[in-house]
Structures are given as C-alpha cells and as structure tokens.
Amino acid sequence: MAKTTLTQPTLAEQYDVIIGVDTHKDFHVAVALSANGGRLAECRIPAKQQGYSDLRSWALELGTKPIFAIEGTGSFGAGLCRELMASGFPVVEINRTDRSTRRRLGKDDAIDAEAAARAFIAGLATIEPKGGHHVVEMIRLLKGNKDSATNSRTRAINQIKAILVTAPALLREQLEPMANINLIATCAAFRIAVVDCPFAAAKKALRYLARRVLQLEKEISELLEDLDQLTQQACPGLRKTYGIAVDGAATLLVAAGDNPARLRSDAAFAALCGVSPLPASSGKTNLDYP
C-alpha cells in the first residue's frame, strides 16, 4: 500500500498577494508584494472608512487571496484592522522594525510597509491580532476608564494627606486621627464663605479634593457594575474560577482579546503576558573548572 504524504500548503497556495501596511494617525501607506517577494504596487489611503474601503478594493485588484501584515494594530492601525477582520480578510500583527534594520534600510513609510510584508513572508510574523469588535473590546474601554479613576482617586487621597502635614495645627489635629472614610466625609462637608487666611484656604482645598474622591468612587462603582455584567457574559467559567473577581477577569480577557482561539497553547498565552522563560546565556556556563 502506498504511503500518503501530508504536505503543508505553500505561501503562494495560501495567499497570492501580501499587503504590508505602515499605519499613522491620519493616513496609512500600503505596499503589495507577490508570494515570492516581488514588489507589485504601493498606495496611500486616509485613515477613514472610505480609505479602508479603497484599500480592500485595491488589494482585490492585485490578487484574489490577499493577506494584510499591519503595524500598530493596537493603536493607529486598530480601525483598519477591525474593518479588515470584519470583512473576512486574514490579518497578521507586525512588530515595529528594530533600529538596526531601519539604520540599514532607512526610515520611510513605504519602506516600513514593505518591511512589514517581508516579515510575514520570512515567517517572522504569524500572530493574528486581537479582535476589537465584540464584548472584550467593551471591557477594555471600560476597564481603562476604571483604572484611570482608581489612580486619580489614590492621587487625590495622597494630596489630602500631604495638605494635612503642613495644615494649621488646629485643622491637622482634628483630621489626622480620622480613618479615610471619615476624613473624606468631613472634608467634603466643609463650608468656607471667604478665603482670607491659610486656615480657610486649606479647608477649601481639602473640600475640593474630598468631593473629587467621592465623585471618583461613584464612577468606579458604576464601572465595576458594568464590568461585572460584561465579564459574566464574555466568559462565565472564568468568573467561577477561585480567586478571579471582576478586575482580574477583565485583565485576562483583555489580554486574550475577542478572538482567544489565536492563542494556540498555554505557552502562547504565557509569551503574550511576558512570563514565559527565555534562554538568557551563551557560551560556557559550567563554572566547575578542574
């Protein structure tokens, strides 16, 4: 019986044109290469809906099976990446060109776009970018807001404590022994008619900071309610895991993205999070000399 040999499809069989894209805030530059690396064409589009549509049409004029290699899929290229993935086009994420390559080849939008396409052809870039059009994208946006509010709340409380260090003795002796919750409530209730002395100025500053803290706490509470619902919707099994609450679940889901199938193994997820072991030595490492 003859043996059947399984062969992987070649790059040319999978894709007939590779589109490298260098992204910017207001415009994107694309360079098209054939599967064997030949340069086909170049185009520049505005970073708008019409520009995305023009890029899709341009790519289909060059080939029937295009793939897009895009720099900055998490920043300037996020809109283009979402549009292409929603339209069914394959997309890979490209890291920024390192300094040695830029020194050797130069720094230019078309050069960067071509380098992105060649990185895919060389097998240096194979990662599908995170999707950004489902529940996890909503979690990412709200979690960023919640984290910002939490940091601002901490800064405001620290400012209150700093003011108490140099505040007039009468005010400092009244407020310093209080726990945070009582301190914030007391400062928020201060009434100052006229700022005519350091004592009045300190009370007014403390009132503004305390009210800012209360407003931020309300914002944080509302955002956590939204995140609770969204994380339960996105991955109820994760929320049932011991030790995983709303914030931890949101962090893990944002790291994985809306398309977690792109992470093919536990090792891939560890590499994404930056916790996978890496070789860090070379040459002779055995120090037991005779």
The tens place of each residue's pLDDT in the chain, 290 residues long, gives: 444 444 456 665 688 899 999 999 999 999 999 988 899 999 999 999 999 999 999 999 998 999 999 988 888 988 899 899 888 899 998 876 656 665 666 667 888 899 899 989 888 877 778 776 688 889 999 999 999 999 999 999 999 999 999 999 999 999 999 999 999 999 999 998 888 899 999 999 999 999 999 999 999 999 999 999 999 998 899 899 899 999 999 998 888 877 777 777 788 777 777 777 877 666 666 655 55
* pTM reported for the whole predicted model: 0.73
H helix intervals, the chain? 11-14, 49-62, 78-86, 99-105, 109-121, 135-166, 169-175, 180-188, 198-234, 236-239, 246-256, 266-273
Q: What is the DSSP string of 97-127?
A: PPHHHHHHH---HHHHHHHHHHHHHTTS--P
For the four alpha carbons of 61, 62, 65 and 67, in that order, the dihedral sign comes to negative
Burial class for 177, CB neighbours closer than 10 Å (0-12, 13-18, 19+): exposed
